[in-house]
């Protein structure tokens, strides 16, 4: 396995240096599909540029009495097919370019699965692990107040993302409701069920990934119940996926969180891993498993790899060590374009993020619909609708990839961009 530096990054030879700016990567992916579609330059300009970018200062009074000012963003990339939709992440490495990329990916993700949203994304530069619960609440509420002019059920609907959760969404919903003088359930999704959240939303990203993976296994002739799985990232999506795929009979051989990786050739007891993580806030020290570096989980001998952490996990520096036959991206942007090309040349079936992790936004859409009509579905109804949506989206993307003799990511982008371009063409350009 490749050598790691002290900060966990891998040494890369000069020929392996590549573009890692997420927004520039998003533009490369767009241009590749736009070339297949032969989009004219005018349409490319419209679809590449974000409609709105908001930068806000967030003063927060800390528990010690001092005030600290954080920087936050909300980007709305495109609303040609409906209101903007996208998560909010709290992370020390958030940048405006990252949020712009994530907003663009949300545009294409919503179009890929055919739901009537555009793409949005938000982020705050902070280390949530260093903040108390009260400080996090004050930060969240002030951020919600600052972005309030541009969000709403018919404008832009935030949701949870990295280091945010249903409690974060509850605080945002309450803050916006106080500003507007009435309860506005549909202003965010991913809320607690008690506040209009949807049954099945918490595990929707993972479940949607599982439905897409089942289709991929059918295409590749792999029996999922006999497959070896590695999951890089053990947050909400990764942990829920590991639990669900283990229930399908698959053998989870490796897991990683931000602190450590664990490996067991004979399989990891996922329920024990979940309990250990809940008790210790880490996978480190999990009984019955060998500890390895988190990035080494990407390189273990497995049939299926689920990158479920952050961007740029699989790059030219380590793609040569990736052994999986199927990769399904539960994270946003975990694979660079250079690594994409090498995986495609090796015949690896990669389910791109804008398809593999679209279960979250799909069930967010269901939640929004339920809020709009004040009519709520059972978990069975939610999961049944999600499975139909994910299977149809996978089949459509795979058919386009086959038609154009290209990889699944480009196939997904061709499908998504064609839908957004058509909506833009029919609407026209105001004035």
pLDDT digits (tens, 9 = 90+) for 247-300: 999 999 999 998 899 999 999 999 999 999 999 999 999 999 999 999 999 999
Residue 359 has pLDDT above 60, yes or no: yes
Q: Is 72 helix (H, G, I), strand (E, B) or coil?
A: strand
pLDDT average, residue stretch 152-178: 97
The mean pLDDT of 332-357, rounded to a whole number, is 96
Q: Could you tell me if 212 and 150 lie in one domain?
A: no
- Average pLDDT of 306-314? 93
What pLDDT does residue 118 have? 98
Q: Which residues of 10-30 are buried (b: 16+ CB within 10 A; e: fewer)?
A: beeeeebeeeeebbebbbebb
Q: Which is nearest to 210 in space by CA: 377, 336, 394?
A: 394
Instruction: Give residue 129's domain range.
Output: 49-184
Q: Where are the alpha helices (DSSP H) in 13-61?
A: 22-37, 41-48
Integer Cα distance of 169 and 190 in angstroms: 7
- Domain termination residue (choose one: 295, 323, 351): 351
- The token pair that represents 385 in the structure block: 């609708």
**What's the per-residue H, E or C state across 288-299?**
CCEEECHHHHHH
pLDDT at 18: 85
322, 215: one domain: yes
Please report the pLDDT score of residue 310 as a whole number. Answer: 84
Residues 216 and 110 grouped into a single domain: no
Task: Tell me: do 174 and 238 sit in the same domain.
Answer: no
- What is the torsion angle, in degrees rounded to the nearest 10, for the CA atoms of residue 326, residue 294, residue 122 and residue 373? 60
Domain match, 134 and 208 both: no
CATH number at residue 295: 3.40.50.720
> Is residue 323 domain-resident?
yes
Q: What is the dihedral of CA 355, 359, 361, 363, to 10 degrees?
A: 150
End-to-end CA distance of the chain: 57
Asked if residues 112 and 81 have their Cβ atoms less than 8 Å apart, the reply is no
Rounded mean pLDDT of the chain? 94
What is the C-alpha separation between 33 and 305, in angstroms, rounded?
A: 25
Give the three-state DSSP class for 356: helix
Output the six-digit token pair for 70: 């954080």
Q: Active site residue: 121, 191, 220, 277, which one? A: 121
* pLDDT mean over 76-96: 97
165 has a pLDDT exceeding 90: yes
Instruction: Answer yes or no: is pLDDT of 3 > 60.
Output: no
Residue 169 counted as domain residue: yes
Q: Does residue 374 surpass a pLDDT of 60?
A: yes
DSSP 83-151: SEEEEEEEETT--HHHHHHHHHHHHHHHHHTT-S-EEEEEEEES-GGGS-HHHHHHHHHHHHHHHGGG-
Side-chain half-sphere of 319: how many Cα atoms within 13 Å?
23
When pLDDT is averaged across residues 318-330 and rounded to a whole number, the result is 97
Alpha helices in 130-235 (DSSP H): 133-147, 166-180, 204-220
Give mean pLDDT, residues 391-411. Answer: 97
- Residue 5's pLDDT band, with cuts at 50, 70 and 90, is very low
Do 136 and 216 lie in a common domain? Answer: no
In a domain, 331, yes or no: yes
Judge whether 390 lies within some domain.
no
Indicate whether 247 and 309 sit together in one domain: yes
394 domain residue, yes or no: no
What is residue 10's predicted lDDT score, i.e. its pLDDT? Answer: 42
pLDDT at 16 over 80: no
Paired sense of beta strands 84-91 and 118-125, if any: parallel
Whether 7 shows a pLDDT value over 90: the answer reads no
Specify whether 341 is located in the same domain as 302: yes
Q: What is the distance between the alpha carbons of residues 173 and 186, in angstroms, rounded to a whole number?
A: 8
Confidence of residue 17 (pLDDT cuts 50, 70, 90): confident
Residue 4 binned pLDDT confidence (cut-offs 50, 70, 90): very low
Which pLDDT belongs to residue 19?
86
Q: How distant, in Å, are the alpha carbons of 273, 308, 310 from that of 281?
A: 11, 17, 18
Q: Count of domains in the chain?
A: 2
Distance, CA of 231 to CA of 243 (rounded, Å): 11
**121 flagged as catalytic:** yes
State how beta strands 84-91 and 156-160 pair: parallel
pLDDT, position 1: 38
CA distance 396 to 411: 9
pLDDT above 70: residue 338? yes
Do 338 and 231 lie in one domain? The reply is: yes
| Stretch 215-226: mean pLDDT | 96
pLDDT at 161 exceeding the cut of 70: yes
Same domain, 121 and 219: no
Other beta carbons less than 10 A from residue 116's beta carbon: 14
Of the pLDDT bands very low, low, confident and very high (cuts 50, 70, 90), residue 390 is: very high
State the average pLDDT over residues 198-207: 95
Query: Is residue 76 within 8 Å of residue 118, measured between CB atoms?
Result: yes
Q: What are phi and psi of 132, to 5 degrees?
A: -75, 170
What's 80's domain CATH number? 3.40.50.10860
pLDDT above 70 covers a percentage of the chain that reads 96
Q: What is the mean pLDDT of residues 305-333?
A: 95
Cβ-in-10-Å burial (0-12, 13-18, 19+) of 409 comes to buried
Q: Scanning the structure block, which residue is given the tokens 């990683």? A: 256
50: three-class secondary structure by DSSP:
coil
Same domain, 124 and 71: yes
Phi, psi of 393 (to 5 degrees): -65, -45
Q: In this structure, are 179 and 283 located in the same domain?
A: no
pLDDT score, position 54: 98
Task: Look at residue 68 and tell me if it is in a domain.
Answer: yes
Residue that is last in its domain, among 294, 329, 351 = 351
Q: Which of 154, 184, 214 is the last residue of a domain?
A: 184
């Amino acid at each position: 396995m490749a050598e790691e530096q002290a900060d966990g990054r891998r040494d890369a030879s000069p020929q392996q240096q590549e573009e890692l700016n997420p927004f520039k990567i998003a533009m490369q992916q767009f241009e590749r599909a736009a070339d297949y579609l032969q989009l004219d330059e005018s349409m490319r300009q419209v679809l590449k540029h974000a409609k709105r970018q908001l930068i806000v200062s967030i003063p927060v009074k800390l528990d010690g009495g001092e005030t600290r000012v954080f920087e936050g963003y909300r980007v709305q990339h495109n609303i040609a097919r409906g209101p903007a939709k996208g998560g909010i992440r709290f992370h020390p490495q958030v940048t405006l370019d990252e949020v712009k990329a994530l907003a663009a990916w949300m545009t294409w993700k919503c179009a890929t699965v055919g739901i009537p949203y555009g793409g949005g994304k938000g982020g705050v530069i902070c280390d949530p692990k260093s903040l108390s619960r009260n400080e996090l609440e004050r930060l969240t509420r002030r951020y919600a107040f600052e972005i309030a002019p541009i969000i709403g059920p018919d404008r832009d609907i935030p949701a949870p993302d990295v280091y945010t959760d249903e409690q974060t969404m509850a605080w945002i919903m309450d803050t916006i409701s106080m500003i507007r003088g009435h309860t506005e359930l549909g202003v965010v999704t991913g809320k607690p069920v008690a506040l209009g959240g949807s049954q099945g939303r918490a595990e929707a990203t993972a479940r949607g990934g599982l439905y897409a993976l089942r289709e991929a296994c059918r295409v590749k002739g792999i029996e999922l119940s006999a497959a070896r799985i590695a999951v890089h990232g053990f947050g909400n999506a990764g942990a829920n996926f590991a639990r669900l795929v283990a229930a399908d009979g698959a053998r989870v051989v490796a897991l990683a969180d931000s602190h450590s990786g664990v490996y067991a050739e004979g399989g990891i007891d996922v329920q024990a891993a979940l309990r250990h993580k809940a008790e210790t806030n880490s996978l480190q020290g999990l009984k019955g498993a060998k500890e390895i570096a988190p990035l080494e989980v990407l390189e273990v001998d497995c049939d299926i790899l689920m990158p479920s952490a952050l961007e740029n996990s699989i790059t030219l520096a380590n793609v040569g060590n990736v052994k999986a036959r199927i990769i399904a991206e539960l994270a946003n942007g975990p694979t660079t374009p250079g690594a994409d090309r090498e995986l495609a040349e090796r015949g690896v079936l990669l389910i791109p993020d804008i398809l593999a992790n679209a279960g979250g936004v799909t069930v967010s859409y269901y939640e929004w619909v339920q809020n709009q009509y004040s009519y709520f579905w059972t978990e069975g109804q939610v999961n049944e609708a999600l499975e139909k949506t994910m299977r149809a989206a996978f089949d459509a993307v795979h058919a386009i990839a086959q038609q154009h003799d290209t990889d699944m990511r480009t196939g997904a982008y061709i499908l998504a961009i064609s839908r957004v371009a058509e909506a833009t063409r029919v609407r026209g350009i105001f004035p």
